[in-house]
Amino acid sequence: MYRLTKMRLQKAKPILEKYLAQLNQRYAFDVGGFESELKECWNLGYQELKGIAEDMSKNDRYRYLAIYYMEHSNTPGIVSEFQPLLAKAYGISWYYDTDREKKQVEFWAAFKANVGRNAAR
């Protein structure tokens, strides 16, 4: 499995920062463009990005970027590899928990509140 190494992080930093700014401003970003740019940057395919997305979800700066990508990268559903990571992010025991939608809304509400606090600084 491919991982988010320091070298990969450094190489992709302009891409990550561009899409992080979009997420912070619009609470959304172009997942297709993001995925395409990262695959080109690292010369990887979609499958290899899964491990990297997992590592990004553990990175304080890029956590929300990774979670948004996991939620929207494989419509119409969430790939099985991302389900435990999303459940953990939402604070539920498993992805199909009956409270998932409520917890997902709370997760993104906390993000939006945090973005507002950071903008005020």
| Per-residue model confidence as pLDDT tens digits over 8-40 | 999 999 999 999 999 999 999 999 999 999 999
Q: How confident is the model at residue 120 (pLDDT cuts 50, 70, 90)?
A: very low
Does the N-terminal peptide bond of residue 84 adopt cis geometry, omega within 30 degrees of 0? no
What is the distance between the alpha carbons of residues 49 and 93, in angstroms, rounded to a whole number?
24
Q: What are the distances in angstroms from CA 7 to CA 4, 12, 40, 58, 76?
A: 8, 9, 15, 17, 32
Predicted pLDDT of residue 121 = 42
Indicate if the pLDDT at residue 118 is higher than 90.
no
* Residue 105 to residues 5, 49, 60, Cα–Cα distance (Å): 31, 25, 20
Q: What is the pLDDT of residue 112?
A: 94
- pTM for the complete prediction? 0.93
By CB atoms closer than 10 A (0-12, 13-18, 19+), residue 80 is: exposed
